[in-house]
Amino acid sequence: MAIEGEDDQRAKPFLPPGDDEEGKSSRGLMARVWEEEKELWVVAGPAIFTRFSTFGVSIISQAFMGHIGSTELAAYALVFTVVVRFANGILLGMASALETLCGQSFGAGQNHMLGIYLQRSWLVLLPFTAALLPLFLFTTPVLRLLGQDESVALMAGKISVWSIPAVFSYSLSFTLQMYLQAQSKNRVITYYAALSLSLHVLLSWFLTAMLGMGVAGVMGSTIIALWIPVVGQLVFVVCGGCPETWNGLSCEAFKDLWGVVKLSFSSGIMLCLEIWYNTILVLLTGHMDDAEISMTLNINGWEMMIALGFLAAIGVRVANELGAGNADKAKFSILICVATSSAIGFTLFLIFLFLRGRISYIFSTSSLVAGAVANLSPLLAFSILLNSVQPVLSGVAIGAGWQSTVAYVNIACYYLVGIPLGVVLAYVIGLGVKGVWLGMILGIAVQTLVLTYITCRTDWDHQVFAARSRLKRWLVSKPDNEDPPNEA
């Protein structure tokens, strides 16, 4: 089998035919960098665009809600910034376990396992999504207990119920994306992302401006926009788009579920702690309705989509190379991805540091808002700079399967360092919003240093062994093979 055959060509999918170790070592550095950049952007480009599209759907919905009324806008911002983002974070994290398994299996040439892992992930994520329903069904009473304005609480409860189909779309969307990315089938992801974003603008305008459906029109369009990629990708997979990795529904999906559950929950905790961390800024300051806070958070959110694209790309690259037994290529991929993402982050850092308040005139004509944004711009710039490195290191952890370790790191750095420091700086020293944000930046900085140390100190040859041991333990025989699977 591919996992045991060190000489099996399927275990080296990224090496051109006839490329031996001597040839590989003799290649120039620039040629290696160019080759790796191409491999990286095959995943990063579509991943960034897709995340821009998903985030764009939310921003477009928010814009249309603003035209309906201030109460609707405040309620929508509250639901999607807190409740939906929490669900989105933990589901994206749990789905990243599939990125580990599919990426390593594809690198090892176990193509038939990708479809089985996809089905196992569905069996884990869909029931968990159902378990999140109380968050959406009881939003109004929870907000009342927290002292939220009655009209906003009632509207938020209505929007939360509308959000339930959207949240279920995340379970299928994230898993399908990671299944397709692991085998570099990214065009279909990009096409449907572009289609959903375009239709959302048109449909939202038609339902609200032409038919006057209000909140129901915006939320109905949002649901359709989020389900278009899911249906399209699902049809692509089951109707012959992935003949080597999809062999139909299989009873094998019900085997070894506990291992997938553990890896999924570790992944979910890891990424949820990261994504929800930024929401703490809003909750601690209570400035949800302030234009400058909303504006800077949206800018930071857009930039974060670039970072999450690189997170997906390096996760796939590391997983593929570890599955293929290429420890050196995994290390080289990490180096190139960090360098590329850092270059983009540093460019944006300079832009936001020097333009400062002038950025705000894209969204507002108020000089007061511009002044407030200028005051927050240095913190935004440093956040963007750190976001260009930290998610890449988290992606390395996903590709290697270290989710549980990084979850502990995140708890320590974010919730024992960042948030306490933010509270002290904001409320004891009196820095307010800037204090909370500065504390969060320090927490991310500590986490980045810890993950850098872990990555640099890792024995990547041992990671190859760990990846192959995991794959061998969960391997099942091919559908046309009557021999029993090879047990570890």
Contact present, 252 and 476 (Cβ < 8 Å): yes
**pLDDT for position 8:** 40
DSSP letter for 16, please. P
The whole-angstrom distance between residue 168's C-alpha and the CA centroid of its chain comes to: 16
The pLDDT tens digits of the residues spanning 33-59 come to 888 898 889 888 888 888 888 888 988
- Interatomic CA distance for residues 10 and 15, integer angstroms: 10
The pLDDT tens digits of the residues spanning 226-276 come to 999 999 999 999 998 899 999 888 888 888 778 788 878 877 777 776 666
**pLDDT for position 205:** 93
Measured in residues, the chain has a length of: 488
- Interatomic CA distance for residues 405 and 412, integer angstroms: 11
Q: Cα separations (Å) of 291 from 53, 74, 131, 186, 304? A: 23, 11, 34, 36, 20
CB atoms within 10 A of CB 194: 15
**pLDDT for position 307:** 86
**pLDDT for position 290:** 53
* Segments in 183-285 forming alpha helices (H): 187-205, 215-236, 257-277, 279-285
Which amino acid appears at position 298 of this protein? N
Which amino acid appears at position 268 of this protein? G
**pLDDT for position 351:** 86
**pLDDT for position 2:** 39
Determine the Cα angle at 469 with ends 468 and 472, to 5°.
Answer: 80
**pLDDT for position 295:** 65
The structure's pTM equals 0.81
- Closest residue by Cα to residue 263 from 397, 386, 136: 397
- Interatomic CA distance for residues 282 and 302, integer angstroms: 17
DSSP string, 77-92: HHIIIIIHHHHHHHHH
Q: What percent of the chain has pLDDT over 90?
A: 29
Rounded average pLDDT per 10-residue block, the chain, 488 residues = 37 43 60 88 88 86 86 86 84 85 89 91 92 92 84 91 93 92 87 92 92 92 94 93 89 81 78 68 55 65 83 90 90 93 91 73 59 75 86 89 83 85 86 82 90 92 88 72 42
